[in-house]
């Protein structure tokens, strides 16, 4: 029985490709289930999205203030087959038209990943199709290819999601050099935790983004975490604790504080370090094209700050539409296509890897 809290969205974007081009040559069925979105997409020639079905569980996990892994995997099991069927139907193709199946095999929640990997392997076995395992972060980066025909490696990419914060040199399709990483929380995680601290609920990122527009970003000066000897690394535990201390001090005095000012000031502190380090990295490594991806790339203030800095430096900025920033299978199809084209194949022994590394 279909859960009424879960609706299917077909998140295709208009990237100006005509019908002829959409038919493409290589047709990928992509599957993504690493966290709380069950998604399947049909992508042709890596950049043309024929369908991108996303079944989000946010409405379910909201009640608990965050993703409950056991519930997530059960919901993936309920959704995976209908989501794949809907992706094929919306794209107007059958499994016989598919050249390869690409699936996220890590990093992520193990129970969630296993559902997607299991479904992809079952189809690959039944239809005798090749299977390609895709790294989730490579997927986020590749989301940028879908709407930007002119974006080609090499370029610099800022990856900001619920699980990752990286400055990445994209040397070629699927070839990455990690320049900066977080030493503690990922930036999306910091957004979610701060939102909970000031009473905004889950998922915190979009709520802070919205509320910050009504606040003063200079009202409170929160720390900008730096790491000695590692100019491109990040630390968000300091700013997170500073917000907690600020809120506790008001609560103890039984005084109220401005949620909007805290949201705006926290967001400003985080954006300051993300933008300055990305621009510095692009300058030092000699890149004039910068891309940003991952759920936090939806953040309106981050996009504006990056745009302003890129304009000032004569750099070109790329970012996906919001629906392609958060988890979706089209981005896995884009990344998977380039892996497939350079000969990457996995066997039916492909396994999910919760802490799959990226370097």
Q: Enumerate residues 158-187 that contact Zn ion by CB under 5 A.
A: 161
Q: Which of 169/185 has CB closer to ligand KG4? A: 185
Contact 240, 187 (CB under 8 A): no
Stretch 159-178 residues interacting with ligand KG4 (CB under 6 A): 161-163
From 146, 112, 60, 122, select the one nearest 332 (Cα to Cα).
Answer: 146
d(CA 218, CA 222): 9
Stretch of 111-119, 155-163, 192-200, 256-264 lying at the interface with Zn ion (CB under 5 A): 155-163
The number of CA neighbours under 13 Å toward the Cβ of 146 is 35
Specify the stretch interacting with Zn ion by CB under 5 A; choose among 44-52, 120-128, 235-243, 322-330.
322-330
Of the candidate residues 138, 180, 295, 320, the single one contacting ligand KG4 (CB under 6 A): 295
Task: Decide: 265 and 215 in contact? Cβ < 8 Å.
Answer: yes
The answer to whether 326 contacts ligand KG4 (rule: CB under 6 A) is yes
Cα separations in angstroms, 313 against 288, 292, 301, 305: 9, 16, 18, 12
| Region binding ligand KG4 by CB under 6 A among candidate stretches 156-164, 236-244, 284-292, 306-314 | 156-164
Given 133, 153, 174, 206, the residue binding ligand KG4 (CB under 6 A): 206
Select from 2-10, 47-55, 241-249, 292-300 the region that touches ligand KG4 (CB under 6 A). Answer: 292-300
Site residues (CB under 6 A) for ligand KG4, limited to 6-35:
35
Residues binding ligand KG4: number (CB under 6 A): 19
Query: Which residue from 91, 44, 117, 53 is spatially nearest to 340, judged by alpha carbons?
Result: 44
Q: Which residues of 142-157 are buried (b: 16+ CB within 10 A; e: fewer)?
A: bbbbbbbeebebebbb
Q: How far apart are CA 165 and CA 180, in angstroms?
A: 8
Residue ranges in contact with ligand KG4 by CB under 6 A? 35, 161-163, 188, 191-192, 203-206, 209, 294-296, 298-299, 326-327
């Amino acid at each position: 029985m279909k859960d009424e809290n879960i609706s299917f969205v077909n998140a295709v974007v208009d990237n100006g490709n005509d019908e002829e081009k959409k038919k493409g040559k290589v047709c990928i069925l992509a599957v993504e289930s690493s966290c709380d979105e069950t998604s399947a997409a049909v992508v042709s020639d890596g950049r043309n999205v024929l369908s991108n079905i996303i079944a989000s569980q946010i409405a379910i996990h909201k009640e608990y203030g965050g993703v409950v892994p056991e519930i997530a995997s059960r919901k993936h099991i309920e959704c995976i087959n209908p989501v794949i069927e809907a992706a094929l139907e919306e794209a107007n193709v059958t499994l016989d038209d598919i050249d390869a199946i690409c699936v996220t095999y890590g990093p992520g929640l193990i129970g969630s990943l296993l559902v997607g990997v299991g479904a992809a392997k079952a189809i690959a076995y039944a239809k005798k199709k090749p299977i390609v395992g895709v790294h989730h972060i490579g997927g986020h980066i590749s989301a940028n290819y879908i709407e930007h025909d002119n974006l080609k490696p090499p370029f610099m990419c800022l990856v900001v999601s619920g699980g990752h914060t990286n400055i990445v040199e994209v040397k070629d399709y699927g070839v990455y050099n990690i320049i900066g990483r977080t030493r503690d929380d990922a930036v999306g995680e910091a957004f979610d935790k701060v939102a909970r601290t000031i009473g905004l609920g889950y998922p915190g990122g979009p709520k802070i983004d919205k509320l910050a527009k009504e606040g003063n970003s200079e009202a409170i000066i929160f720390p900008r975490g730096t790491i000695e000897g590692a100019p491109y690394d990040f630390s968000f535990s300091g700013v997170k604790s500073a917000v907690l201390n600020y809120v506790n001090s008001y609560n103890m005095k039984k005084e109220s504080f401005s949620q909007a000012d805290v949201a705006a000031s926290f967001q400003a502190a985080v954006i300051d370090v993300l933008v300055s380090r990305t621009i510095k990295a692009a300058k030092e490594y000699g890149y004039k094209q910068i891309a940003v991806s991952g759920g936090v790339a939806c953040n309106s203030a981050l996009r504006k700050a990056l745009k302003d800095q890129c304009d000032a430096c004569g750099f070109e900025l790329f970012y996906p539409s919001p629906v392609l920033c958060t988890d979706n299978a089209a981005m896995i199809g884009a990344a998977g296509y380039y892996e497939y084209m350079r000969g990457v194949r996995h066997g039916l022994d492909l396994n999910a890897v919760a802490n799959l590394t990226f370097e």
